[in-house]
A and B are shown apart, each in its own frame.
Chain A
Amino acid sequence: MNKTWFFRTVAMLALIPGFAPAQDARQIMIEVENRTRSRTEYYEGSLEVINSSQEITRKRWQYDRLGAYGNSRSALRFVAPPEVKGVALLVINHPDRASDQWMWIPAQERDRRIALQDRSTRFFGTDFSFEDLEERDVDQYDYKLSGDDTVEDAPCWKIESHPRDGKTSQYTSSILWVRKDRYFLVRTDNFNRDRLIRQITYRDVESIDGIWTARTVAVLDKTRNSQTLLTLDNVKYNLPMRDAEFTRENLSK
């Protein structure tokens, strides 16, 4: 009796449109994570912030990450221009909830916790929000395959994602484009309800230490019509790093 009920339920679920593809979408995202997983990451980022009047502001930062996807710590330090040099952000990602973030501003000689309701704020004059600097863990979202598409002539899966309960996010949904040949995320459209808030594209993809890496990340803030181009240089994976380097005390270093 119980077995019959079980098989009938499975058969009925399989007939529900979207049920089986949802499983596939999740598998795709897990594979995306696995193929870009590394113990540590380091890069030097050059940013160009282009506002709606086409004025360009340039900044540079250094990025370190220890761990990966939902169980990682990252530190981001501005190195230019001179007036923001020393500003730093510590992000501690958790598998089951939003990250903890602290920002160090040298002039104040203290760090400040970035509250959850601040996460939609632009990060220090760039078009990245504080939330965009978190690492998205696959287990914090529900996925649904919504079809095929192409990005720059490359065939992609188009996947819709929604944050799960417990995951605090400014975005109510996102559409992700994943290249089929590399299982690599090439574009993300982030929505608040039906409104497109921020579009992030990952370009100039190359393999570094066997890991597909976008050397250019373009963030388009649709609400302000402003764009930030982040160019990654000197990317290195799996360098030795220690937990102690990712503490609030170490932010000021």
Chain B
Amino acid sequence: MKWTATFVCLLTLLAQGQEFSQRGFVELNGNFYPQTFPIDSTRAIGGILAQYEPKWQPTPWFTLNASLDVRMDSHQQVARNLRFDWQDRSLQRTPFSIRELAAVFRKNNFTITLGKQFIRWGEADFLNPTDRFAPTDLLNLVDQELLPVTAARVTYDRGNDTFNLVWQPEFTPSRVPLINQRWTFLPPAYYSFDAQDQGSIFPGRSSFGVRWNHSSARYEYSLSYYDGFNYFPAFNIQVDGPAARLTYSRMYPALRLYGGDLTVPSSLFTFKSEAAYYTSSTKNQDEYVLYLLELERQIHEVHIIFGYAGEVVTAHGNALQYLGERGFARGLISHVLYTLDANRSVTLDAFVRQDGASSLVSPAFSQSLREHWRATVGFAWLRGEANDFLGQYHRNSFARAELRYSF
């Protein structure tokens, strides 16, 4: 808390007389679940999120980017303490968090970014197999948020080629659903068990990645390499059946990725593909290929994406792994955005598992009101079978509403 206040004051002082810009928003949001879940009877969750993004550029070659979140909610997805978590390793979201605090140095064709930042790799939509510096917050599986990483990134731009080197000294895990809430990671068979969390074992070494991107008129492609850790945990679970008790701990297996993406625009549609082969030196981690093939097309004000996300497991690990993004593989995906006018838009996202074991349909309507306000309403309709990653949450269909004031 003190640290955050000091940081904001410092930025304000530094900003005087310098090139300074800021933006942000305050958002009220609510999710309404028509059905209860076996371990969670809450039907309505309300929350408030304030985000402030100052940017200070004292010289053309140096920029300081920052972003601060303040939030709370009614369902304890946000911790009710004032603990500050720079590493983003807490199970719950924290009331105060630094989304970004990065120094950016630019010299000729080089850009060096140091600090907490967002790093996005890959060109596909919906699912990015090569995006390994982008852990996610999955406390609501359907409404995911991106988490930042603390890293050093060097980018070199030369004509049509861009080289990216990333070193992440400190591991940031994805935030998986809470065990006692409706998006729980526990398999249904253990809902009635007394679960004891033994904590997490975080990797001790750094992660590293390199990406080369080439773009031209007829195609664009990238090659990626990553050596680090899976940001989704594998669980070490011990079950005491007669006592209906289980203990579990989280670990994050080593992971190595060889990947690439390809975009080919044509006069009819844009073809995008992205694939990655994951290997691991540990036995508790699957080895697999994750890929995505998609077609993108703009027809007047309608933007359509349709694709297939696939997975081939080449070696099975021996631990219970949280699937995360892999849970959305082996299925058809689509995204439709219809821009009604300058202020209104409608979106429709859909996912259907290839064997029909689960499906998700999520339409939303968004309207801006004057220059500062935007209201969004929508719902997510989930169907499926209990043994499917997504289908197990078939009681979690929900309606949502957001009202955002931007400044």
* A residues whose Cβ falls under 8 Å from a Cβ of B: 49, 51, 57-58, 80-83, 85-86, 94, 97-98, 100, 108-110, 113, 115-118, 120-122, 125-126, 168, 242-244, 247-250, 253
Contact = CB atoms under 8 A, between A and B. Distances in A.
Contacts of B298: 115, 117-118, 120-121
A250 B342 CA distance: 26
Q: Is the interface of B mostly helix, strand, loop or mixed?
A: strand
A126 B301 CA distance: 12
B63 interface: yes
A207 B217 CA distance: 36
B343 A117 contact: no
B265 interface: yes
Interface in B250-268: 263, 265-268
Given A82-B23, A117-B297, A249-B162, A100 B270 contact: no
Nearest to B372: A82
Contact of A94 (B109, B217, B220, B368): B217
A113 B123 contact: yes
Interface residues on B, range: 35 or more
B341 A125 contact: yes
Given A117-B270, A242-B108, 17 more contacts: A81-B406, A82-B407, A83-B25, A83-B371, A97-B217, A113-B263, A115-B269, A121-B298, A122-B301, A122-B339, A244-B106, A247-B162, A249-B157, A249-B162, A250-B106, A253-B57, A253-B104
Nearest to A53: B341
B404 interface: yes
A242 B371 CA distance: 33
A247 B111 CA distance: 11
A163 to B, nearest CB: 13
B120 A121 contact: no
Contacts of B118: 109
A242 B107 CA distance: 10
B146 interface: yes
A49 B157 contact: no
Contacts of B123: 113
A82 B25 contact: yes
Nearest to A47: B342
12 contacts: A49-B342, A57-B342, A82-B25, A82-B371, A83-B372, A115-B265, A117-B268, A125-B342, A125-B343, A126-B342, A249-B155, A249-B162
Nearest to B118: A109
A49 B343 CA distance: 11
B342 A51 contact: yes
Nearest to A52: B341
B345 to A, nearest CB: 9
A244 B108 contact: yes
Interface string B140-165: 00000010000000010100001000
Contacts of B407: 82
Nearest to A242: B108
Interface string B217-228: 100100000000
A248 B298 CA distance: 22
B215 to A, nearest CB: 7
A244 B267 CA distance: 30
B265 A113 contact: yes
A195 to B, nearest CB: 14
Interface in B132-186: 146, 155, 157, 162
B300 interface: yes
